[in-house]
């Protein structure tokens, strides 16, 4: 197969059907004056911004003014000359990603239509290309016209009035572009993937290569079942030999195969003894093996692009739990894995703006925050190759959803169903070799009986029930039967409600929207919490990008456009009220910088409670996955720990510490304080534990040390307890625990504060700081709460938003040339500013 790339500079013209009519019966002549420049692959908003025609849609309220873009037809044009071989043999046009409804016209002749962002288009154009001056026209509609005559009524629950306009449920593109609580409507339009001319004189057209690696229960015998999809372009069967081998091993085979006319697949299996096992990060290495294949016919030898696989066994244990319900626990290579992570959404509202560097940086941040899992949420994307490459390489597990979220979908419509079946097959085959992929999930929150989306009354089968419960599992069974499938998230088998705390996976949202008292996380017993979170500010530079001059205050118009929509759920914003509820401070009286600190502190403490609670319950609970990791646009308030600019938000460090491989968590029972030691590493830990009670003014009321505390590998166990009776005044007294290595190096620490922060009696802290040998040491004679060194989040600091326990020094690596500056301390009595 030979290819001619058609990427690069194209021309594009707008039309609203009155002006600039799209000329579907295209003529060859292009009037350059009437066209703008466009980049392929690319997106129209990006082109318009780059040419200064529309302002930065991510700043101020510009996104609203850019809505006209999604209401036009965009007619792309490209001229190309075709090599002689493309004229003598067969030829195809291949579009990797068209966004969205496309009419494709070559030299005045319509050649194809397409309407699915999630799978490529191949159009045969044999005999239709000429030597020079071929005119390729692609007319694109963002999708709005395409579905304007489709019904909108009845597909969404509640007040989803905006769906009447965009009807996103009919459109196979990222659903969050149609406005979500954390991002505004910005419907992409453009040729968002590569375009090429492919041509050959061969009898076969090679399609997807999908090797699946597996290893048996004793982890000794591995195999790769390699499947190659191909089209026999002749009308007779073709005999061939499929060779498959794994580089640097003796696993190799040659399989005689026959390809009948039309589309089919061939396969061969190779075996390997004692493979090096692939582990999630923190549990072992991530060895990847290269699978190589070729197909030899009498006439031709086809070299197939290689794929990397990893050998690991994944099981999901859902045995009955003695205390009720069922476990929901991933075991990898027979070892239970506690899943720590967040929800991944598209890294930009404009998909073409996401380059591989941005994706890799995001995975870096996930690793920095001690994640081992990302849930790729069902309202976004099947992610890029770079995303899965990086997850495979670094050991980040992936829970991948099919792109259906928060609504009903017209899966009974024949055309819709045909389109989503093609999409699902394409994506299943595309990702089948990935060791990081441990689960496919049917959708986000669409299970029948779900509290929000009204899929049907209890016990009434909604039409798309069959799609998630029959069709998708059958498609997986055909192409990737080894992978675990969860019909929805959340989903609780055997229960009418899909979000049962003790069965399946959960979205524990009783806290986070209206109820902001995240102390209630402490009693939550979920088996596999998969999303739930607390709103907070993004980094200071990102906040300022949202808010042009004159609008840099809480609830300015630009603020509201960039705010999470939970803010509007009630006339009295619960999100605004959070600073008052926790701190007794009015956010409307704060500067943007003060808001970033104070509200960031609250979000960080909330996410810490979520993680601490679920981790200490391992393995009655087997995950702490929160909502959400990253942002798609600059938000003033969001759920995230990494914002659109990839800056760490204030909550980042709370999460990073809470996810550290070794952690202590304190809880209160009726008469005791119990200290849990959590060790996620594969090795037992011997450490020294100091614990007790101190007064915020510095005095230790109880101060005990246990030498040689043993925390077994991969476990959470109570390691100490003390009598609750001595804890007389929680407004001045805090319970604490610190773990040190036997030679005295600090490992981790934590504390338990019982009242709301505004109810505490805080002393004004006097913090001493010294910098020596690239380390900074902080000490304070009293308790200092959430010491802040940075609000920008651009640099990977060893620590930030940390506490100082009375007279317990905190030393952190500080390789920066400037000594640290303490920007804020969270003891409100001290007025905040240090």
Take residue 632 and report the two structure tokens written for it: 């798609």
Contact between 563 and ligand BMA by CB under 6 A: the answer reads: no
Residue closer to ligand BMA, measured from CB, 376 or 406? 406
Per the listing, tokens 């907070």 go with 536
Residue closer to ligand BMA, measured from CB, 38 or 405? 405
Helices (H) and strands (E) in the chain, counts: 14, 44
d(CA 486, CA 279): 22
Q: For residue 686, what is the enclosing H or E element? A: strand 685-695
For residue 628, say if its preceding peptide bond is cis, omega within 30 degrees of 0. Answer: yes
Contact between 622 and ligand BMA by CB under 6 A: the answer reads: no
Dump strand ranges (E) for 446-575: 484-486, 536-537
Please list every residue from 372 through 391 that binds ligand BMA, using CB under 6 A.
Answer: 379
Contact between 181 and ligand BMA by CB under 6 A: the answer reads: yes
CB of 627 to ligand BMA, least distance (A): 5
Residue 389 half-sphere exposure toward CB, CA atoms < 13 A: 10
Per the listing, tokens 């850019």 go with 66
Sort strands 775-780 and 767-772 into parallel, antiparallel or unpaired.
antiparallel
Residue closer to ligand BMA, measured from CB, 528 or 627? 627
d(CA 748, CA 226): 46
Backbone angles phi, psi at 523, to 5 degrees: -105, 5
Near ligand BMA by CB under 6 A: residue from 175, 232, 444, 486: 444
CB of 575 to ligand BMA, least distance (A): 12
Residues 506-535, buried b or exposed e (16+ Cβ, 10 A)?
bbbbebbbeebebeebeebbbbbbbbbbbb
Chain residue at closest Cβ approach to ligand BMA: 181
CB of 423 to ligand BMA, least distance (A): 20
CB of 181 to ligand BMA, least distance (A): 4
Contact call for residues 697 and 732 (beta carbons, < 8 A): yes
Please list every residue from 794 through 813 that binds ligand BMA, using CB under 6 A.
Answer: none
Contact between 505 and ligand BMA by CB under 6 A: the answer reads: no
d(CA 661, CA 320): 28
Residue closer to ligand BMA, measured from CB, 444 or 714? 444
CB of 681 to ligand BMA, least distance (A): 31
Residue closer to ligand BMA, measured from CB, 489 or 679? 489
Task: Mark the segment that binds ligand BMA (CB under 6 A) among 125-133, 179-187, 643-651, 731-739.
Answer: 179-187
CB of 377 to ligand BMA, least distance (A): 6
Residue closer to ligand BMA, measured from CB, 484 or 513? 513
CB of 453 to ligand BMA, least distance (A): 9
d(CA 389, CA 634): 26
Contact between 576 and ligand BMA by CB under 6 A: the answer reads: no
d(CA 319, CA 325): 9
Contact call for residues 77 and 83 (beta carbons, < 8 A): no
d(CA 692, CA 734): 8
DSSP-derived secondary structure letter, 535? -
Listed residue (787, 793, 794, 795) closest to 816, CA to CA: 795
Contact between 499 and ligand BMA by CB under 6 A: the answer reads: no
CB of 509 to ligand BMA, least distance (A): 6
DSSP-derived secondary structure letter, 718? E
- Whole-angstrom distance between the N-terminal and C-terminal Cα of the chain? 67
Contact call for residues 363 and 390 (beta carbons, < 8 A): yes
CB of 499 to ligand BMA, least distance (A): 11
CB of 254 to ligand BMA, least distance (A): 48
Listed residue (393, 492, 479, 401) closest to 438, CA to CA: 401
Residue closer to ligand BMA, measured from CB, 14 or 182? 182
CB of 531 to ligand BMA, least distance (A): 6
Instruction: Please tell me the count of residues contacting ligand BMA according to CB under 6 A.
Output: 10
CB of 6 to ligand BMA, least distance (A): 37
CB of 447 to ligand BMA, least distance (A): 12
For residue 66, the SS3 value is coil
d(CA 726, CA 730): 10
Take residue 62 and report the two structure tokens written for it: 């510009």
Contact between 445 and ligand BMA by CB under 6 A: the answer reads: yes
Task: Mark the segment that binds ligand BMA (CB under 6 A) among 101-109, 154-162, 178-186, 574-582.
Answer: 178-186
* CB neighbour class for 224 (10 Å; exposed up to 12, middle 13-18, buried from 19): buried
Contact letters (x/-) for ligand BMA, 304-323, by CB under 6 A? --------------------
Task: Mark the segment that binds ligand BMA (CB under 6 A) among 131-139, 175-183, 358-366, 801-809.
Answer: 175-183
Sort strands 437-441 and 397-401 into parallel, antiparallel or unpaired.
parallel
Task: Mark the segment that binds ligand BMA (CB under 6 A) among 39-47, 132-140, 177-185, 698-706.
Answer: 177-185
Take residue 173 and report the two structure tokens written for it: 């593109």
Take residue 130 and report the two structure tokens written for it: 């000429």
Contact between 406 and ligand BMA by CB under 6 A: the answer reads: yes
Task: Mark the segment that binds ligand BMA (CB under 6 A) among 105-113, 174-182, 278-286, 665-673.
Answer: 174-182
Residue closer to ligand BMA, measured from CB, 156 or 180? 180
Residue closer to ligand BMA, measured from CB, 228 or 406? 406
Per the listing, tokens 């016990």 go with 459
Contact between 182 and ligand BMA by CB under 6 A: the answer reads: yes
Residue closer to ligand BMA, measured from CB, 78 or 185? 185
Residue closer to ligand BMA, measured from CB, 155 or 180? 180
Contact call for residues 84 and 126 (beta carbons, < 8 A): no
Instruction: For residue 426, give Cα distances in angstroms to 19, 469, 628.
Output: 38, 19, 27
Contact letters (x/-) for ligand BMA, 335-374, by CB under 6 A? ----------------------------------------
Residue closer to ligand BMA, measured from CB, 308 or 506? 506
CB of 215 to ligand BMA, least distance (A): 33
Contact between 610 and ligand BMA by CB under 6 A: the answer reads: no
For residue 164, the SS3 value is helix
Near ligand BMA by CB under 6 A: residue from 74, 180, 559, 727: 180
Residue 188 half-sphere exposure toward CB, CA atoms < 13 A: 30
Task: Mark the segment that binds ligand BMA (CB under 6 A) among 180-188, 319-327, 468-476, 546-554.
Answer: 180-188
Contact between 627 and ligand BMA by CB under 6 A: the answer reads: yes
Q: Give the dihedral sign, CA 753/757/758/761.
A: positive
In DSSP terms, 40 is beta-bridged to: 8
Listed residue (622, 630, 119, 96) closest to 377, CA to CA: 630
Contact between 447 and ligand BMA by CB under 6 A: the answer reads: no
CB of 179 to ligand BMA, least distance (A): 11
Please list every residue from 520 through 559 that binds ligand BMA, using CB under 6 A.
Answer: 531
Task: Mark the segment that binds ligand BMA (CB under 6 A) among 156-164, 176-184, 357-365, 384-392.
Answer: 176-184
Contact between 647 and ligand BMA by CB under 6 A: the answer reads: no
Task: State the angle between helix axes of 592-616 and 574-583 in degrees (0 to 180), rounded to the nearest 10.
Answer: 80
Contact letters (x/-) for ligand BMA, 756-795, by CB under 6 A? ----------------------------------------
Contact between 198 and ligand BMA by CB under 6 A: the answer reads: no
Site residues for ligand BMA per CB under 6 A: 180-182, 379, 405-406, 444-445, 531, 627
């Amino acid at each position: 197969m030979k290819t001619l790339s058609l990427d690069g500079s194209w021309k594009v013209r707008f039309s609203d059907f009155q002006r600039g009519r799209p000329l579907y019966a295209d003529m060859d002549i292009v009037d350059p004056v009437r066209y703008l420049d466009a980049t392929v692959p690319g997106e129209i908003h990006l082109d318009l911004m780059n040419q200064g025609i529309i302002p930065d849609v991510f700043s101020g309220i510009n996104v609203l003014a850019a809505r006209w873009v999604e209401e036009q037809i965009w007619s792309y044009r490209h001229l190309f000359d075709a090599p002689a071989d493309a004229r003598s043999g067969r030829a195809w046009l291949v579009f990797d990603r068209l966004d969205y409804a496309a009419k494709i016209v070559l030299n005045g002749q319509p050649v194809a239509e397409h309407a699915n962002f999630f799978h490529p288009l191949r159009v045969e154009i044999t005999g239709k290309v000429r030597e020079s001056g071929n005119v390729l026209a692609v007319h694109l509609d963002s999708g709005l016209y395409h579905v304007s005559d489709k019904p909108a009524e009845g597909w969404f629950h509640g007040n989803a009035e905006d769906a009447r306009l965009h009807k996103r449920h009919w459109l196979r593109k990222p659903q969050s572009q149609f406005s979500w609580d954390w991002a505004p409507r910005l419907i992409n339009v453009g040729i968002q993937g590569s375009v090429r001319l492919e041509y050959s004189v061969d009898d076969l057209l090679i399609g997807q290569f999908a090797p699946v690696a597996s290893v048996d229960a004793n982890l000794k015998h591995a195999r790769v079942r390699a499947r190659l999809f191909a089209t026999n372009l002749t009308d007779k069967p073709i005999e061939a030999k499929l060779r498959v081998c794994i580089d640097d091993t003796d696993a190799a085979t040659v399989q005689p195969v026959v390809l009948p006319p039309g589309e089919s697949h061939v396969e061969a299996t190779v075996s390997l003894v004692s493979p090096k096992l692939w582990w999630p990060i923190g549990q072992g290495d991530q060895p990847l093996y290269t699978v190589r294949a070729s197909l030899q016919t009498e006439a031709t030898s086809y070299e197939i692009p290689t794929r990397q696989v990893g050998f690991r066994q994944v099981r999901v244990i859902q045995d009955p739990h003695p205390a009720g319900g069922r476990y929901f626990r991933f075991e990898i290579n027979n070892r239970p894995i506690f899943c720590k992570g967040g929800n991944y959404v598209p890294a930009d509202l404009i998909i073409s703006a996401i380059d591989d560097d941005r994706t890799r940086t995001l995975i870096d941040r996930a690793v920095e925050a001690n994640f081992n899992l990302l849930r790729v949420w069902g309202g976004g994307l099947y992610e890029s190759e770079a995303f899965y490459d990086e997850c495979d390489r670094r050991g980040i597990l992936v829970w991948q959803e099919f792109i259906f979220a928060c609504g009903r979908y017209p899966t009974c419509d024949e055309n819709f169903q045909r389109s989503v079946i093609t999409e699902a097959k394409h994506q299943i085959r595309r990702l089948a070799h990935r060791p990081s992929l441990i689960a496919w999930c049917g959708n986000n929150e669409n299970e029948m009986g779900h509290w929000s989306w009204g899929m049907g009354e209890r016990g009434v089968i909604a039409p798309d029930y069959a799609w998630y419960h029959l069709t998708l599992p059958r498609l997986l069974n055909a192409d990737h039967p080894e992978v675990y499938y969860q019909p929805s998230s959340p989903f609780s088998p055997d229960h009418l409600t899909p979000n049962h705390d003790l069965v399946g996976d959960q979205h524990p949202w009783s806290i986070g929207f209206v109820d902001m008292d995240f102390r209630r996380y402490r009693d939550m017993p979920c088996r596999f919490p998969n999303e739930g979170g607390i709103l907070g500010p993004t980094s200071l530079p990102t906040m300022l990008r949202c808010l042009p001059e004159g609008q840099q205050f809480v609830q300015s118009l630009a603020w509201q456009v960039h705010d999470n929509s939970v803010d509007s759920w009630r006339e009295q914003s619960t999100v605004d009220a959070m600073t008052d509820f926790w701190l007794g401070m009015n956010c409307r009286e704060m500067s943007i910088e003060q808001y970033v600190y104070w509200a960031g502190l609250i979000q960080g403490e909330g996410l810490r409670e979520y993680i601490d609670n679920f981790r200490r319950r391992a393995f009655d609970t087997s995950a702490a996955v929160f909502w959400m990791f990253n942002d798609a646009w600059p938000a003033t308030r969001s759920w995230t720990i990494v914002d659109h600019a990839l800056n760490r938000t204030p909550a980042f460090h709370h999460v990073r510490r809470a996810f550290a491989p070794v952690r202590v968590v304190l809880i209160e029972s009726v008469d005791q304080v119990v200290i849990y030691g959590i060790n996620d590493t594969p090795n037992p830990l011997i450490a020294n534990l100091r614990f007790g009670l101190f007064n915020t003014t510095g005095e230790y009321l109880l101060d005990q040390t246990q030498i040689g505390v043993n925390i077994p590998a991969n476990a959470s166990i109570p390691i100490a307890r003390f009598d609750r009776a001595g804890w007389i005044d929680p407004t001045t007294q805090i319970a604490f625990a610190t773990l040190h290595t036997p030679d005295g190096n600090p490992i981790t620490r934590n504390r338990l504060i019982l009242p709301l922060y505004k109810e505490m009696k805080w002393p004004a802290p006097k913090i001493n700081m010294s910098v020596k040998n690239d380390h900074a040491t902080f000490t304070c004679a009293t308790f200092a709460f959430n010491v802040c060194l940075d609000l920008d989040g651009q640099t990977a600091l060893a620590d930030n938003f940390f506490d100082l326990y009375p007279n317990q020094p905190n030393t952190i690596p500080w390789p920066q040339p400037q000594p640290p500056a303490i920007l804020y301390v969270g003891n409100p009595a001290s007025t905040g500013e240090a």
